[in-house]
Structure 1
Amino acid sequence: MKRNPHRPFTPRPEQMALHPGLSGNDINGLGERAFRRPEVVYWAKDPDDIPHGAVQRWFYTANPPSEVMQDARAGRQVILDAPLPEVTGAPAARAPGDWTAGLASFVEAGVCEMTGVAEMDPAWLFEGAEVAQSRLIVLGVQHDYAGIARAPEVEAGAEVIRQYGRAAGAAKAVAGWIRAQGWEAEPVTGPMAGEITLIPPAIACGFGELGKHGSIINPELGASFRLSGVLTDAPFALTPRRAFGIDAFCMACRVCEDACPPEAIAPDKQWVRGVEKWYVDFDRCLPYFNETHGCGICIAVCPWSRPGVGLSLAAKLARRAARKDG
């Protein structure tokens, strides 16, 4: 096996001095067999609200100033600060299928690469949060592979920030489109935690399956994309969940596991708040993440993320499943 050039990793003492006595894995519910809602463990809008708040603040000072990162953050902030249009007119009466079909125009225009619609599930809300809307539209925007492939260099971190900005712009565009038709709509953007954790609804509405690296794997986009959402009561038709056999693939694959500098990716699924799933060790991952512009190695090296590879892998898994069923 090729030697990992990023191992061994030793966190900087000044960072570790800021870590709380409470494990992020405990906050996330690692090892728990009973269901409970998630809690915000990082990227809180107000860092004072979470135990790891001092570490979150340190993230922004950990690396030398970079023009490419500053430009990416400034561009994202412009998008986040842009006002939403007011709701205008009476609510439009459209068939649910027509509402959902209308989302295709945003993909065709390059606003985003993928859309889906899920029925809002309270299990996706962070502890203490409430939402009244019945529908959650999920939007996906793909990283530029040339940028994310440079992880853990600053260019990869800047690419992530650019796509978070683009995802926010997509959410605002879709929300504005719905508002112009007389329906309330609220964008859900990242990376700062809001009311909803977006990975479970994205899986529920057909974006793909959870991979060993803790990110969704999708045949078209690989693991290299960011999410945003829109909450609304407009009667969109739901989009179905899709399965490709990712569990079996990830069980046999060790690429991200071997590439992870702090060895945070486990070889097997684990119990987390009542669900057995792939999980990345928060306490191991975070120090390296903080010291390398947000890392991104695991999604960059994922075989599904390489351009043109995902669809062929999905077809191969489908043929394998068909032979097994036959």
Structure 2
Amino acid sequence: MARKNPYRPFDPDPAQMAHVPAISGNTINGLGESAFRRPDMVYWAPEPDDIPHGEMQRYFYIQSAKEPAFAQARAARTVATDFDLPQVAETPAALSQETWAAGLNQFIDQGLCDMVGVAEMSPDWVYSGRHVPQKRIVMLGVQHEYDEIAKAPKAAAGLEVVAQYQRAAVAAMRVAEWIRQQGWDAQPLTGPMTGAVAMIPPALACGFGELGKHGSVINPDFGASFRLSAVLTDAPFAVTPQQDHGIEGFCQNCRICEDACPPIAIAPDKQTVRGAEKWYVDFDKCLPFFNETHGCAICITVCPWSRPGVGLNLAAKLAARAERLEEAE
């Protein structure tokens, strides 16, 4: 039996709800659509006026501005990422695949990020009306400090998110800098306003993990407790393979994030979204609580995979179970 949720019932701020647009965010996301189409940007627009939920996005920042620590954290991020990328070196480096891979892994060794992967860029991941000419996308992941993100939905968790977005942004800038020094163009994408690309699909494609019931990527090492940035490039990196750890099946039988979600936005079963069956979080239910709690993050912190030391054990058990089932066939 689920424990009583201390955040239910949730009554959103009328001042925020006055900004709800006529069109549903679920409609923008393609919920219930049986045919594939490219995604439309629903939130985190570089220019809020470009999206129907732009005023709600502004509300989010107005709310966080009430906490001085957020202004300080965002100012620190601006300073940390305020440097010009170098010009692309004249002669493209002809490196072995092993050398390219080692070059990316150095950023993990230096502590700039915790995960690196590469995927062939797909137009399916590009928001409608945008264009990405590069052939590859380098994905970067940075882990949250669990003790801080576990304070969700308090402001401390939101500050931890800002801190890790800063770390991810710096990592993307440094990776882009290094690629340019090798003679290949590179453009960093930093969150949460990445502009042209939906970040979760390439994170799945490059092996970072699987989509969880709460709508975030779950990685066996870090759970859902990490943030993403990326670099677009034509540099000839080898792609890193997609991974299957049995996480999607685990989510089917788990209700922890469902029960913990204050606005009851997490569905028990997969939904049809732009022609694909996938886990989906009700945007219209989620957003008001998200906006009023500095980004919430309850679902990723209660996820069993996010607890330190738990994910790898779960992955090992699921792998052993899959092996037994295969042997029994």
TM-score (norm: length of structure 2):
0.97
- CA–CA distance in structure 2, aligned partners of residues 264 and 128 of structure 1: 28
1:68 aligns with 2:83: no
**Aligned partner letter, 1:37:** R
- CA–CA distance in structure 2, aligned partners of residues 77 and 241 of structure 1: 33
The residue number in structure 1 matching 2:140 is 139
1:300 aligns with 2:301: yes
The residue number in structure 1 matching 2:207 is 206
Question: Contact (CA 8 Å) 2:200, 2:217: kept in 1 or not?
Answer: yes
The residue number in structure 2 matching 1:267 is 268
Question: Contact (CA 8 Å) 2:24, 2:284: kept in 1 or not?
Answer: yes
The residue number in structure 1 matching 2:5 is 4
- CA–CA distance in structure 2, aligned partners of residues 114 and 54 of structure 1: 34
Structure 1 residues 128 and 249, CA, compared in 2 at 3 Å: closer, same or farther?
same
Question: Contact (CA 8 Å) 1:100, 1:117: kept in 2 or not?
Answer: no
Matched residues, number? 326
Question: Contact (CA 8 Å) 1:136, 1:232: kept in 2 or not?
Answer: yes
**Aligned partner letter, 1:187:** P
Question: Contact (CA 8 Å) 1:189, 1:228: kept in 2 or not?
Answer: yes
- CA–CA distance in structure 1, aligned partners of residues 19 and 154 of structure 2: 24
The residue number in structure 2 matching 1:87 is 88
The residue number in structure 1 matching 2:288 is 287
- CA–CA distance in structure 1, aligned partners of residues 264 and 83 of structure 2: 40
1:82 to partner: Cα distance? 2.4
Give a deviation string over 1:170-192, Cα, whole Å, max 9, x none.
Answer: 00010001111111111011101
CA RMSD of aligned residues (A): 1.0
**Aligned partner letter, 2:213:** K
1:80 to partner: Cα distance? 3.6
Question: Contact (CA 8 Å) 1:91, 1:181: kept in 2 or not?
Answer: yes
The residue number in structure 1 matching 2:106 is 105
- CA–CA distance in structure 1, aligned partners of residues 285 and 199 of structure 2: 23
- CA–CA distance in structure 2, aligned partners of residues 193 and 138 of structure 1: 12
The 5 Å alignment of 1:140-289 reads 140-289=141-290
- CA–CA distance in structure 1, aligned partners of residues 174 and 194 of structure 2: 20
Question: Contact (CA 8 Å) 1:183, 1:233: kept in 2 or not?
Answer: yes
Question: Contact (CA 8 Å) 1:120, 1:134: kept in 2 or not?
Answer: yes
**Aligned partner letter, 2:236:** P
The 5 Å alignment of 1:36-55 reads 36-55=37-56
The residue number in structure 2 matching 1:128 is 129
- CA–CA distance in structure 1, aligned partners of residues 9 and 64 of structure 2: 19
- Which has the larger displacement, 13-22 or 80-89? 80-89
- CA–CA distance in structure 1, aligned partners of residues 67 and 255 of structure 2: 33
- CA–CA distance in structure 2, aligned partners of residues 76 and 64 of structure 1: 15
Question: Contact (CA 8 Å) 1:28, 1:38: kept in 2 or not?
Answer: yes
SS in 2 for 1:123: helix
Give a deviation string over 1:76-134, Cα, whole Å, max 9, x none.
Answer: 22234322122123111112332123211111110100000000100000001111111
Structure 1, unaligned runs of 5 or more: none
1:63 to partner: Cα distance? 4.8
- CA–CA distance in structure 2, aligned partners of residues 64 and 36 of structure 1: 36
1:64 to partner: Cα distance? 6.2
SS in 2 for 1:103: helix
Structure 1 residues 149 and 35, CA, compared in 2 at 3 Å: closer, same or farther?
same
- Which has the larger displacement, 86-95 or 249-258? 86-95
SS in 1 for 2:62: coil
Runs of 4+ that moved beyond 3 A: none
SS in 2 for 1:177: helix
- Which has the larger displacement, 129-138 or 73-82? 73-82
Question: Contact (CA 8 Å) 2:65, 2:71: kept in 1 or not?
Answer: no
- CA–CA distance in structure 2, aligned partners of residues 98 and 273 of structure 1: 39
Question: Contact (CA 8 Å) 2:119, 2:239: kept in 1 or not?
Answer: yes
